[in-house]
């Protein structure tokens, strides 16, 4: 196998880890399974924290996983500029670990929602959106009970002011409005990045949007971007 | 005077005498508790066994038939599909969230017990009308529970159905089917050799006081006033532990460390150990001191009958025990080496150095009582048949009737329900909820399994033979509409109190109908579940044999969908007769559940399935959708809504509009075809002997029903999608 090595961490309760590995493989990368209890990053060039319900999400989503041994290594990897992507539960873990601003709370409807939604790319400055144009609209599914992005007023102003918003929920034509804000997120935010632009978290599942036989393909350009970022580090 | 203990445990005096005869002595209270749960209706099938034996269970593709944790079907290339359906109706009626959640956990464990990875869940649910607040509470709780457990273990919920009828108000019917996949040579079936001195290892959650007597107190009695007091008999689910249990169990199977694997579900420890021993034609010696307990001072009988969730029992060769314990430790699961298999038939259980129970394993697992209960046709059926809505005077406006049927809760879109389920995880969902059947691709192959769950309660209430036969036919038709070939069924047989001859008659007729249909369609019965006592007072649920159909599509790229594309010719396959008995139109527009259900010609049915499968293989079909509840009008409308395109439909002149639109004649489908493929398709239909009538074409923003009326696709969509959210809002 060739292609950049992308690590996918399995925590107890991770669910979309196999899907992420498969998606990376189908896009020409090497998916590398990483185990929460180990500290070995197996020489990967990028890391995905996948969706699921790590530790059952019994305390608070992502609150326990952030203490897993491998997370210390991931923080170090991120601090050194390594590309890190958190999807759904992985996004929650990155927020809990302080690598990303904000937090994710229960959906406005108080219900789990599984639905293909439209998301608008807000910046090309993230490991998932290299080479994409702000304003581009992608179809990607969401599936979560706790995906409503929130942040304190100051934090939210900073997130917006510093251009840290990477994705917003929108209408098919790119209009951001309340009707298409699937979970009631602040400013319809679907994904954010860190200041240095190497860590990104999002609620939509790009790994479930690469195979035209089972759904939309809005995840393809995002994972292609991640692979090129990873390749740049090889 | 206090009730004798055996009666409190649900055993009759005769059954008690039989236990004394088996043991040659009076049973102690632990032993009595064990017989109480194992000889319960739920575990022993004592009322249903004589009928279940008449069902066709063999076929060239059947690898494992009834009697094990799940049925297994060969899908070729060394791959096996395990599937099974169960009910969790009684617990859900009392505590809907946990009742439904633990139903998922239980059926998933049945699949992993076969060494198969769960890849899909389906949830057929039957409630009372949503105009009643309690029914809304039940639906919301059940759906949240299914999502709460299913979403958290990473198994997609890809379909099911939701139906409403007053008889299900007090007794909702909550069924769930799980489907799993395994290499055929890695299945953990009872044909595996279990050796003397093999070790029984308990792994998973600790044992607590929840679910004591679930099978006997809850599942094998009717629910009466004050049934909330039975809440302690409802188990509590822990999906996180369930997910770890899946991964650990599959790793044990993949590493070939198992002689046997069984879940602890209904009747808990007693059932798992006695069935494991009985299947191996052996006995077992077990020590309860090692069982991890949630709280101190559990009584012996509580440990023996607790239905605490997320526990499994592995039978392991002694040299492999350490490896098994290491796998469980990796997944953070507690383990206990319980005991070993021994020669003979005795199940000998000790605690604190004392023998606390000693009984023949087979007497618990296999030799329970079998009853041939009295049957009697219910009074009043003849009068219902007389009142045939086909001949009623219809004064309704056609457009209003159409919108009423399209928006009736039994026809309306269940989007607001299934959007609460993760139907995408695992990445194989080719067709999710909302179509005729769900399609799930088998990872690493082109092969795709097709799944449908169906019951025809309204038909069954009028004629249980036809109700069950129609359920099989419709489930097979739904699978066939995707281009797949129906292979086999599992079932969940939901009925009232079997001690009432009327209920037993419904059951007997249903089994006869199911057997005939399964034989004719070559879809053998690989197992299932019987749920009796779904009644309160003398108000039983409608006879509801739910069918879970498994089909196979060799290449997912051939999948046919429901949605109309524009600019296609529309054909009706099959023939429409004036058959409004038991129809959606009769109930919604005429307010009648009466008459006889439509006739069913199983040869015609099978010809239709073969035609669609062959047309799909030859890529002739732009869409296909079966005519079910609501007849041709609803089939056309649903295809139009799914495709976002309208149609123009010409009605035949010599038939009343309501017959053409709403008759529920069986073995029919609506397909759309490009003009270039029309001749080839018509020839193929003739070859298969399937009547094929061109009835219109697709396109435009409106559904045009000849000169009768028109409805915009947008308006129809709003009606179809809006009903359930509106009702749930109260």
Instruction: Report the pLDDT value the prediction gives residue B2, as an integer from 0 to 100.
Output: 74
Axis-axis angle for helices B464-481, B602-617 (nearest 10): 10
- Half-sphere exposure (Cβ direction) of B77: Cα atoms closer than 13 Å: 10
Residue recorded with tokens 């009582």: B369
A23 CB neighbours in chain B (<8 A) are 427
Label residue B395 by pLDDT band (50, 70, 90): very high
> Which helix (DSSP H) or strand (DSSP E) does residue B32 occupy?
helix B29-38
Compute the distance between CA of residue A46 and CA of residue A28 in angstroms, rounded to an integer: 14
Instruction: Read off the pLDDT of each residue in B199-209 and give the average, rounded to a whole number.
Output: 93
pTM score, whole prediction: 0.95
DSSP state for residue A19 in the 8-state scheme: H
What is the Cβ-side half-sphere exposure of residue B695, based on CA atoms within 13 angstroms?
29
CA B276 centroid distance within chain: 25
The parent domain of residue A13 ranges over 5-233
**Is B331 in Cβ contact with A12 (below 8 Å)?**
yes
B69 pLDDT above the threshold of 70: yes
Give the three-state DSSP class for B398.
Answer: helix
pLDDT score for B215: 67
- The average confidence (pLDDT) of chain B is 94
Give the per-residue pLDDT at B617.
96
Question: Would you state the pLDDT for residue A1?
Answer: 53
Q: List pLDDT tens digits, range B21-36.
A: 999 999 999 999 999 9
pLDDT at A102 over 70: yes
Catalytic site residue A61?
no
Residues in A closer than 8 angstroms to B425, CB to CB, are 15-16, 19, 143, 208
Domain layout of chain B by residue ranges = 1-39+190-368, 390-412+561-730
Residue B328 · residue B254 · CB < 8 Å: no
Are the C-beta atoms of residues B616 and B537 closer than 8 Å to each other?
no
pLDDT above 90 as % of chain A: 89
CATH number for the domain that contains residue A193: 3.40.50.880
Q: Do A53 and B424 lie within an 8 Å CB cutoff? A: no
Torsion sign (Cα): B302, B305, B311, B316: positive
Counted across chains A and B, CB pairs separated by less than 8 A come out at 85
Q: Is the dihedral of CA B546, B547, B548, B553 positive or negative?
A: negative
**Is B262 an 8 Å CB contact of chain A?**
no
CATH fold label, B390-412+561-730: Phosphoribosyl-aminoimidazole Synthetase; Chain A, domain 2 (3.90.650)
* DSSP, res B83: E
Q: How far apart are CA B589 and CA B624, in angstroms?
A: 27
- Give the closest of B144, B421, B425 to A16, CB-based: B425
Of B148, B419, B441, the CB nearest to A113: B419
Q: What is the pLDDT of residue B85?
A: 97
Minimal Cα–Cα distance from A170 to chain B, Å? 19
Residue B250, C-beta contacts closer than 8 angstroms, at least 6 positions apart? B112, B115, B117
What phi and psi values does residue B446 have, to the nearest 5 degrees? -90, -20
pLDDT-derived band at A170 (thresholds 50, 70, 90) equals: very high
Q: Residue B26: is it exposed, middle or buried by C-beta count within 10 angstroms (0-12/13-18/19+)?
A: exposed
Would the CB atoms of B427 and A23 count as touching at under 8 Å? Answer: yes
Cα B311–Cα B313–Cα B316 angle in degrees, nearest 5: 145
> How confident is the model over A103-118, as a mean pLDDT?
96
The pLDDT value given to residue B583: 98
A28 to chain B, any CB pair closer than 8 A? The answer is no
H helices present in B266-354, as ranges: 268-279, 300-305, 321-330
Superfamily of domain B1-39+190-368: PurM-like C-terminal domain (3.90.650.10)
Instruction: Say if residue B95's pLDDT is above 70.
Output: yes
Domains: count for chain A: 1
CB B341 within 8 A of CB B282: yes
The residues of B that are catalytic are: 42, 88
A95 flagged as catalytic: no
pLDDT band at B233 (very low <50, low <70, confident <90, very high): low
Nearest residue, CB atoms, A114 vs list B421, B441, B556? B421
**Owner of token pair 């599914």:** A141
Name the minimum distance, in Å, from the CA of B415 to any CA of chain A: 10
Are B424 and A58 a contacting pair at CB < 8 A?
no
Q: What percent of chain A has pLDDT over 70?
A: 99
A-chain CB neighbours of B725 within 8 Å are none
Asked if B211 has any chain A CB less than 8 Å from its own CB, the reply is no
- Selecting among A61, A88, A95, A170, the annotated active-site residue is A88
Q: Is the pLDDT of residue B1 over 60?
A: no
pLDDT, tens only, B622-645: 999 999 999 999 999 999 999 999
**Is B226's pLDDT higher than 90?**
no
Mutate to test the interface with A, among B154, B247, B328 (most CBs of A within 10 A): B154
Residue whose pair of structure tokens reads 């005991």 in the numeric block: B339
Q: Which among A19, A57, A145 has the least Cβ separation from residue B425?
A: A19
- The answer on pLDDT for B225 being more than 70 is no
| Preferred mutation among B239, B245, B424, B448 to probe A, highest tally of A CBs within 10 A | B424
Q: What is the ipTM of this complex?
A: 0.95
Q: What is the pLDDT of residue B607?
A: 98
Strand bridging mode B544-553 / B669-673: unpaired
User: Is the Cβ pair B424, A141 closer than 8 Å?
Assistant: yes
| Contact (CB<8Å) A19/B151 | no
Across chain A, mean pLDDT equals: 95
Selected catalytic residue, list A73, A95, A96, A205: A205
Question: Is-contact B176 B104, C-beta < 8 A?
Answer: yes
Are the CB atoms for B373 and B501 separated by under 8 Å? yes
CB contacts, 8 Å: B238 with chain A? 56
């Amino acid at each position: 196998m060739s292609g950049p090595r992308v690590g996918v961490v399995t925590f107890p309760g991770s669910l979309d880890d196999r899907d992420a590995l498969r998606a990376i493989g189908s896009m020409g990368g090497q998916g590398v399974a990483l185990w929460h209890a180990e500290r070995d990053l197996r020489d990967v060039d990028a890391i995905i924290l996948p969706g699921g319900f790590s530790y059952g999400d019994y305390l608070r989503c992502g609150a326990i996983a952030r203490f897993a041994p491998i997370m210390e290594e991931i923080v170090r990897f991120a601090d050194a500029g390594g590309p890190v992507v958190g999807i759904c539960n992985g996004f929650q873990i990155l927020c809990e670990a302080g690598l990303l601003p904000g937090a994710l709370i229960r959906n406005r409807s108080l219900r789990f929602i599984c639905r293909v939604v439209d998301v608008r790319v807000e910046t090309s400055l993230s490991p998932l959106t290299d080479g994409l144009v702000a304003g581009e609209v992608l179809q990607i599914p969401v599936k979560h009970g706790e995906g409503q992005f929130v942040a304190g007023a100051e934090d939210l102003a900073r997130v917006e002011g510093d251009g840290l918003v990477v994705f917003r929920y929108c209408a098919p034509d790119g209009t951001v409005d309340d009707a298409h804000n699937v979970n009631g997120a602040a400013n319809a935010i679907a994904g954010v990045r860190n200041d240095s632009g190497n860590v990104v978290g999002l609620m939509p599942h790009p790994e479930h949007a690469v195979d035209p036989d089972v759904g939309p393909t809005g995840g393809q350009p995002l994972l292609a971007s991640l692979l090129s970022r990873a390749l740049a580090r090889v | 005077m206090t009730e004798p203990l055996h009666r409190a445990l649900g055993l009759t005096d005769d059954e008690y005498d039989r236990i004394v005869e088996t043991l040659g002595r009076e049973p102690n209270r632990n032993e009595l508790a064990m017989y109480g749960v194992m000889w319960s209706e739920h575990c022993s099938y004592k009322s249903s066994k004589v009928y279940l034996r008449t069902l066709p269970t063999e076929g060239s593709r059947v690898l494992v038939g009834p009697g094990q944790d799940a049925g297994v079907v060969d899908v070729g290339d060394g791959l096996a599909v395990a599937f099974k359906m169960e009910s969790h109706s009684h617990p859900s009626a009392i505590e809907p969230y946990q009742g439904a959640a633990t139903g998922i956990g239980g059926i998933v464990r049945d699949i992993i017990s076969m060494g198969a990875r769960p890849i899909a869940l389906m949830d057929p649910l039957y409630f009372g009308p949503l105009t009643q607040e309690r029914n809304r509470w039940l639906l919301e709780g059940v759906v949240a529970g299914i999502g709460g457990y299913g979403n958290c273990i990473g198994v997609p919920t890809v379909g099911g159905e939701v139906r409403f009828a007053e008889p299900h108000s007090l007794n909702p019917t909550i069924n769930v089917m799980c489907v799993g996949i395994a290499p055929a040579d890695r299945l953990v079936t009872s044909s595996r050799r279990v050796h003397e001195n093999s070790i029984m290892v308990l792994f998973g959650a600790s044992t607590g006081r929840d679910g004591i007597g679930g099978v006997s107190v809850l599942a094998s009695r009717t629910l009466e006033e004050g049934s909330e007091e039975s809440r302690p008999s409802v188990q509590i689910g822990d999906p996180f532990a369930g997910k770890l249990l899946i991964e650990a169990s599959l790793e044990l199977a993949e590493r070939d460390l198992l002689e046997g694997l069984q879940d602890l579900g209904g009747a808990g420890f007693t059932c798992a150990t006695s069935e494991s021993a009985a299947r191996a034609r052996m006995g077992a010696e077990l020590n309860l001191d090692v069982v991890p307990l949630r709280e101190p001072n559990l009584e012996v009988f509580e440990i023996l009958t607790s239905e605490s969730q997320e526990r499994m029992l592995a039978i392991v060769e002694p040299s492999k025990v350490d490896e098994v314990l290491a796998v469980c430790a990796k997944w953070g699961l507690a383990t206990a080496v319980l005991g070993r298999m021994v020669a003979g038939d005795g199940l000998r259980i000790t605690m604190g150095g004392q023998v606390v129970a000693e009984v023949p394993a087979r007497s618990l697992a296999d030799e329970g009582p079998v009853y041939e209960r009295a049957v009697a046709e219910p009074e009043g059926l003849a009068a219902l048949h007389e009142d045939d809505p086909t001949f009623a005077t219809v004064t309704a406006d056609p457009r209003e009737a159409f919108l009423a049927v399209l928006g009736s809760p039994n026809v309306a879109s269940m989007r607001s329900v299934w959007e609460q389920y993760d139907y995408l995880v695992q990445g194989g969902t080719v067709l999710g909820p909302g179509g005729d059947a769900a399609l799930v691709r088998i990872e690493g192959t082109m092969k795709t399994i097709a799944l449908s769950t169906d019951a025809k309660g309204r038909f069954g209430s009028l004629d249980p033979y036809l109700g069950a036969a129609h359920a099989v036919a419709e489930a097979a038709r739904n699978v066939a509409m995707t281009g797949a070939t129906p292979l086999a069924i599992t079932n969940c047989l939901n009925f009232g109190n079997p001690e009432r001859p009327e209920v037993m008659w419904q059951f007997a007729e249903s089994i006869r109908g199911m057997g005939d249909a399964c034989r004719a369609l070559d879809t053998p019965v690989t197992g299932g579940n019987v749920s009796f006592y779904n009644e309160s007072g003398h108000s039983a649920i409608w006879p509801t044999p739910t069918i879970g159909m498994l089909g196979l599509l060799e290449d997912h790229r051939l999948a046919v969908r429901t949605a109309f594309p524009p600019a296609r010719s529309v054909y009706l396959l099959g023939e429409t007769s004036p058959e409004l008995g038991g129809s959606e139109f009769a109930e919604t527009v005429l307010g009648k559940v009466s008459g006889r259900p439509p006739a069913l010609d199983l040869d015609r049915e099978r010809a239709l399935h073969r035609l669609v499968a062959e047309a799909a293989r030859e890529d002739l079909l732009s869409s296909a959708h079966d005519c079910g509840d609501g007849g041709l009008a609803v089939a056309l409308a649903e295809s139009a809504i799914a495709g976002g395109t309208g149609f123009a439909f010409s009605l035949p002149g010599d038939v009343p509009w309501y017959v053409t639109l709403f008759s529920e004649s069986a073995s029919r489908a609506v397909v759309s075809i490009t003009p270039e493929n029309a001749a080839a398709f018509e020839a193929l239909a003739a070859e298969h002997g399937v009547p094929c009538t061109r009835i219109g074409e697709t396109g435009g923003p409106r559904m045009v029903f000849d000169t009768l009326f028109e409805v915009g696709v947008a308006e129809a969509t709003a009606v179809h999608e809006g009903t359930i959210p509106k009702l749930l809002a109260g």
